[in-house]
C-alpha cells in the first residue's frame, strides 16, 4: 500500500484533522499525514499534531503584508515535505489564485453545509436562521471561487426543533469526521 503524502491546513480545534490522522493510522488507508500548518498560534490542532508526532508549522498571516507572500511561504513548506495532497480543515483563510492553481485537483476543503447552499464563514448559523429541516457537510475540490469546486462527497444531517448553532454544529461534526477521510480516499484512488 503506497501512502500518499498529505498536509492539513487548520486555524482552530482541528477535530477534522484528528479524524484524518486516525484514518491515516490504519495500515490500509492510502495516505499519511506528514505536515500540519496553522495560521493561528493558539490553534488546538497544533497540539493534536504534536501529540501524534507530526510536524507542525505555525505561519501567522499577520506577519505577511500580502496574501501572495503568505501563500508563497505555505507553498515552500509544502514542497519541503514533498506534499502531494492538501486538506483544508477549518482553515479560515482565502487562498490566492496562484496557490489554488498550483494545487488544482489535489486540494480539498470541508464545509459545514450541503453546498451549494450556505456558502461562507457562517454556514451553520445561516442554515439555522433560514429554518431548513436538513443540513449537512460537503468535501469539495478547492477552486478560485469560494466553496464552489467539484463536490467529492456529502453527508446529510437533520435539524431538530430545539437546535442551537452549537448543537447543530456538533451533529454536523460527527458526520464530517467520517466524510473527510472517505473523500480524501476517493480523491487519491481516482488519481
Ligand atoms: C468544520 O465544521 C468545518 O466544516 C468548518 O470549520 C469547522 C472546523 O472544525 N469549515 C468552514 O466553516 C469553512 N468555511 P475543526 O477545526 O474541529 O475541524
Place of cell 489554488: 100
- pLDDT of 32 reads 98
- pLDDT of 59 reads 97
- pLDDT of 1 reads 82
Q: What is the mean pLDDT of each run of 10 residues along the chain (191 residues)?
A: 96 98 98 98 97 98 95 98 98 96 98 98 98 98 97 98 98 98 98 87
C-alpha torsion angle, residues 74, 79, 82, 87 (rounded to 10): 30
Ligand 1: centre distance to CA 111 (Å)? 6
Class of domain 4-190: alpha beta
- pLDDT of 8 reads 98
* Residue to mutate (ligand 1; options 10, 33, 90; most atoms within 8 A of CB): 90
Instruction: For ligand 1, say whether the CB of 2 is within 6 Å of any of its atoms.
Output: no
- pLDDT of 69 reads 97
Cell of 87: 486538506
Q: Is 111 among the catalytic positions?
A: yes
Name the active-site residue from 57, 111, 169, 177.
111
Cell of 96: 490566492
Q: How far apart are CA 72 and CA 19, in angstroms?
A: 27
Ligand 1: centre distance to CA 89 (Å)? 6
- pLDDT of 25 reads 98
Task: Enumerate the domain spans of the chain.
Answer: 4-190
Three-class SS of the chain: CCCEEEEEEECCCCHHHHHHHHHHCCCCCCEEEEEEEECCCCCHHHHHHHHCCCEEEECCHHHCCCHHHHHHHHHHHHHHCCCCEEEECCCCCCCCHHHHHHCCCCEEEEECCCCCCCCCCCHHHHHHHHCCCEEEEEEEECCCCCCCCCEEEEEEEECCCCCCHHHHHHHHHHHHHHHHHHHHHHHHHHC
Note whether 136 and 159 are within 8 A (CB): no
- pLDDT of 74 reads 98
Note whether 85 and 30 are within 8 A (CB): no
Instruction: For ligand 1, say whether the CB of 136 is within 6 Å of any of its atoms.
Output: no
Amino acid at each position: 500500500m503506497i501512502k500518499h503524502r498529505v498536509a492539513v491546513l487548520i486555524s482552530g480545534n482541528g477535530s477534522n484533522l484528528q479524524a484524518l490522522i486516525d484514518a491515516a493510522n490504519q495500515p490500509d488507508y492510502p495516505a499519511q499525514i506528514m505536515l500540519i500548518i496553522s495560521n493561528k498560534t493558539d490553534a488546538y490542532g497544533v497540539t493534536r499534531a504534536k501529540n501524534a508526532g507530526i510536524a507542525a508549522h505555525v505561519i501567522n498571516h499577520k506577519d505577511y503584508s500580502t496574501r501572495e507572500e503568505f501563500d508563497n511561504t505555505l507553498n515552500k513548506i509544502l514542497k519541503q515535505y514533498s506534499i502531494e495532497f492538501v486538506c483544508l480543515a477549518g482553515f479560515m483563510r482565502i487562498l490566492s489564485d496562484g496557490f489554488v492553481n498550483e494545487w488544482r485537483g489535489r486540494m480539498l476543503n470541508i464545509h459545514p453545509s450541503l453546498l451549494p447552499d450556505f456558502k461562507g464563514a457562517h454556514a451553520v448559523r445561516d442554515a439555522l436562521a433560514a429554518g431548513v429541516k436538513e443540513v449537512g457537510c460537503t468535501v469539495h475540490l478547492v477552486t478560485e471561487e469560494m466553496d464552489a469546486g467539484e463536490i467529492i462527497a456529502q453527508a446529510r444531517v437533520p435539524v431538530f426543533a430545539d437546535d442551537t448553532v452549537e448543537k447543530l454544529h456538533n451533529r454536523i461534526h460527527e458526520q464530517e469526521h467520517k466524510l473527510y477521510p472517505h473523500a480524501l480516499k476517493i480523491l487519491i484512488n481516482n488519481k
